Amino acid sequence: MIRWIGLFLFFWYVHANASGSNTEEFTRDSVALGQSIFESGIGRDGRAIGATLHGLPLSGAAIACSGCHGQDARGGGEAFIVAPDIRWSRLNNPFPSRRAAGAGKSYDIFSFTKAIRSGYSADGRQLDPAMPRFDLADDEINSLIAYLSAIDQQTTSLEKRFNIISLLPISGHSKYADELSLKLNDCASLHVGVPIAAIDTLYFSTPEDALKQLENYIERSANPLVLLPFIMGWEDKYTEFIRSNNIPTALPFSFLDPPLLKDGVFEKQWHFYFPGLQSQLKALMRSIHREDYTHIRIIHNLADELSVRLNEIVLHEAERLNMAVLTHVQKNDQQDFKIAAIWLTPTAMNQSFERFELNPDIQMLVPVFFFTQDADPSFSWRVAYPYKPRDDDGQWLSPVDVWTSAACTFLVNLSSSDLAKNDGAPLYLEWGDGFKLNGRLDPESLSDTVFIHDYE
């Protein structure tokens, strides 16, 4: 009996080993051939593969898949051609939302062959003529599939490593949040034909509820990344949570700079943030300092916590720039120095002028979030924006427009090569008409990214 078992084990061992190494070798060869076709357009036995593109016969490297679908098969492309992600996990995925728009059915070996040879997608759509029609043999096509499966496991992608969640208040809580939610859900329709990473949104009633839900979520899923959490007013509480749970956050919807970890260093878990009020104030102060203003009058509201906090920042910056702070400005005084006034309160602007004894030759400074429609037009207003406020057509953009375009770009980049190759530490996001956002900036350089606009 014992011998029997021994024999059986021996057999099983030999058998498993043999078939194991066999498949491995077969796969390795196959993957190598697939890679050669994919990267250089060289098929079996060193022949240059052929194809027709827009009716023209082409061969070899000119029609290598990587030229259009990207080195890592995640899609992309030069100029006008946008080639989809063709990693096998995508093509073969039964859930079409995870694939390029338009591809309703998942690919199998037969429909993949048809796409390559005759240019039809899995659901029978004729593919754009920018996708060449290839003369590939069955085994070459099999090896492409082997390679497109293997490449997926080789590249570490952010998308694979992260489960992306957004955190927004339930509807009706904030106008901003409702618009953010709508536009975020619309990302895919703004980026038709481009693979876009999936996102789960958690809707919360209170910050406590938000953290509770986030806690539940991270228990269930590995490697969460929070995109565009709505944390206005509870930044510190949120940051404490993600710091202790080690959760990266991108594009937080906050009007403040990231909290400081220590002097001169921002919280490490915040990525892709716009300059907050603190940086905007610094940028405003520096802009007038360059124009030889020597005095600054601060308009703040002692009853408002935020206003008091911002006041400290301006005082600190004034000291650094060697500017005098005025608590009081005489109306109609003849002054021989240049004065600016900085607005640090969300108070209704129209009623405040008398009270603050301002006269119109004072240069007014204000961060855009405090700048309202009723701002007195007889003053010259210098407004700080955390982003480029107009697109190339001169259209003014709202924070919601800008935050969501950045977030959608982030989701697109997650499934493209750019972010993946940077191993999760992308340097910046770029979109639309010259919009750009850095991945991580320190408190000093963040104020350099503020946009200043003068309203005369």
Query: Alpha-carbon distance 325 to 303, whole Å?
Result: 20
Q: Near ligand HEC by CB under 6 A, which window of 76-84, 261-269, 323-331, 381-389?
A: 76-84
Contact between 139 and ligand HEC per CB under 6 A: no
CA distances from 193 to 103, 196, 281, 405, 448 (A): 9, 9, 41, 17, 35
Contact between 68 and ligand HEC per CB under 6 A: yes
Contact between 452 and ligand HEC per CB under 6 A: no
Residue whose Cβ sits closest to ligand HEC: 65
Contact between 194 and ligand HEC per CB under 6 A: no
Which residue number, 121 or 278, has a Cβ lying nearer to ligand HEC?
121
H or E segment at 352?
Answer: helix 352-356
| Rg value, the chain, Cα | 29
Query: Alpha-carbon distance 151 to 264, whole Å?
Result: 41
Q: Are the C-beta atoms of 314 and 281 separated by less than 8 Å?
A: yes
Contact between 127 and ligand HEC per CB under 6 A: yes
Contact between 146 and ligand HEC per CB under 6 A: no
Which residue number, 68 or 441, has a Cβ lying nearer to ligand HEC?
68
Indicate if the alpha-carbon torsion angle 323, 328, 331, 332 is positive or negative.
negative
CA distances from 171 to 168, 185, 432 (A): 8, 14, 28
> Position of tokens 């900036």?
441
Contact between 70 and ligand HEC per CB under 6 A: no
Q: Are the C-beta atoms of 197 and 414 separated by less than 8 Å?
A: yes
Contact between 63 and ligand HEC per CB under 6 A: yes
Contact between 196 and ligand HEC per CB under 6 A: no
Checking DSSP bridges between strand 270-271 and strand 249-250, what pairing results, if any?
Answer: parallel
DSSP 65-127: HHHHH-TTSS-B-STT--BPP--HHHHT-S-GGGS-TT--S---HHHHHHHHHH-B-TTSPBP
Q: Per-residue contact track with ligand HEC, 43 to 62, x per CB under 6 A?
A: ----------x---------
Least distance from ligand HEC to the Cβ atom of residue 109, Å? 11
Least distance from ligand HEC to the Cβ atom of residue 115, Å? 4
Contact between 341 and ligand HEC per CB under 6 A: no
CA distances from 174 to 170, 177, 185, 427 (A): 8, 5, 17, 31
- Residue of 31, 42, 86, 177 that binds ligand HEC (CB under 6 A): 86
Contact between 30 and ligand HEC per CB under 6 A: no
Q: Near ligand HEC by CB under 6 A, which window of 110-118, 155-163, 354-362, 377-385?
A: 110-118
- Residue of 31, 103, 358, 368 that binds ligand HEC (CB under 6 A): 103
Residues that bind ligand HEC (CB under 6 A): 37, 53, 63, 65, 67-69, 81, 83-84, 86, 91, 99-100, 103, 112, 115-116, 121, 127-128, 130-132, 134, 144
